[in-house]
Amino acid sequence: MSAPALELRALRAGYGRDAPVLDDVDLTVPAGSLTALLGPSGCGKSTLLRVVAGLLAPDAGDVTVGGASVLGVPAERRPVGLVFQKALLFGHLSVGDNVGFGLRMRGVAARDRRHRVREALDLVGLPDLAARRPGELSGGQEQRVALARALVLDPQVLLLDEPFSQLDADLRVRMRELVARVQRELAMTTVFVTHDQQEAVDLADSIALLLDGRLQAHADPAAFYTRPPSLAAARFFGVTNEIPGTFDDGVFRCALGSLRVAAGASPGPGVLVVRPESLRLVSGDARPDGPGSPGSGPSANLVAGSVVETRFRGTHRTVVVRLPHRVALTVTLPPDHPAGPGDTVTVHLPPDACTVLPAEHDGPPATLDPDESEHIRA
């Protein structure tokens, strides 16, 4: 594995309040990788980028780029490039002069400056717009110029602070594709801030999940779906099915009986989580077919119940199934699935899709009957 291009050690930062915005954050970003810094609004994502860029001094900890601390280096001399949510272009300067502004401040000769500006604009797909003014650009073009302005300085680390959040959905997708292409071509270490899980999964080599100023986990995107590192992470990534119980001797014992689950759980109390799209639904007493189909006993992972709610979502349908002992599960099905309220069904919980995590006492309750709890989300 490559040496880290960016490393945060025990980082603590805030804005003069008693409680820090960032609390003891450790993060290592390998050279040449694209890491998505993911979390809800207010969790500290932009604050972290401001610290790395030198726009905010941390209260404690260290920031290293290429193995060297940058805490004593002023923002304009740090080997990082930063693109904000808004392009923040100089309206009185041409596109070319906007892109070359940082080079001019560094004393780069005009001839070299023009050459590097032309290369940067080519890279972001705007080779013919150097003479235009920002007022003549679309929102997407403005953000491309802002990206070119950061890239032209050849930073060791590129920081992107939700730069496409104000663009429409189709344009956001195209801009994400542009960032991915540029990052691959330059092999540039990139940290991309977003609150959108799908954007993080589509774009990043790894995801660093930040919640309430603390780094919850840093892993490849698939891990957050298949093996969530914590209950908080599972909830953030859309797990709606939680069943409390106790794990022991390879079996999870809960209100539904004894269930087989994925390996790796620690003995003792916990919460079984399973994604709605991982569940299988069959009518009446039927049994699912295919490899790994359960038999009888604890290995079956089959529970009978009745459909209490269905909702059409366009690409799929969500169904809430009431099970014994006030437990209800949300199941994702094909859009044309015939299940309807009142139908008797059997839910199959595939063992490999069932993960047991330690309980977190400050979160929402475990999955209960929709008549008893508002936690059920169809």
298, pLDDT greater than 60: no
147, pLDDT greater than 60: yes
| Residue-level pLDDT at 299 | 44
Classify the C-alpha dihedral 32-33-39-43 as positive or negative: negative
Structure token pair of residue 102: 């940082």
- Distance between CA atoms of residues 150 and 133, nearest Å: 18
- Distance between CA atoms of residues 356 and 248, nearest Å: 11
Task: Summarize pLDDT for 30-44 with one digit per residue, the tens.
Answer: 999 999 999 998 899
CATH H-level, domain 4-224: superfamily: P-loop containing nucleotide triphosphate hydrolases (3.40.50.300)
57, pLDDT greater than 80: yes
| Residue-level pLDDT at 46 | 93
Angle between helices 169-186 and 139-151 (to 10 degrees): 20
| Residue-level pLDDT at 170 | 86
Q: How many CB atoms lie within 10 A of CB 168?
A: 10
Mean pLDDT of the chain: 87
294, pLDDT greater than 60: no
Structure token pair of residue 11: 């980082």
Residue ranges, comma separated, of all CATH 2.40.50.140 domains in the chain are 240-357
295, pLDDT greater than 60: no
pLDDT range class, residue 367, cuts 50, 70, 90: low
Mean predicted confidence (pLDDT) in 212-238: 90
| Residue-level pLDDT at 164 | 84
Report the top-level CATH class of 240-357: mainly beta
118, pLDDT greater than 80: yes
Task: Summarize pLDDT for 83-104 with one digit per residue, the tens.
Answer: 998 888 999 999 999 999 999 9
| Residue-level pLDDT at 3 | 60
Question: Do residues 25 and 218 lie in contact, with contact meaning Cβ atoms separated by under 8 Å?
Answer: no
Residue ranges, comma separated, of all CATH 3.40.50.300 domains in the chain are 4-224
Classify the C-alpha dihedral 279-282-286-290 as positive or negative: negative
| Residue-level pLDDT at 211 | 92
| Residue-level pLDDT at 243 | 96
- Distance between CA atoms of residues 64 and 71, nearest Å: 8
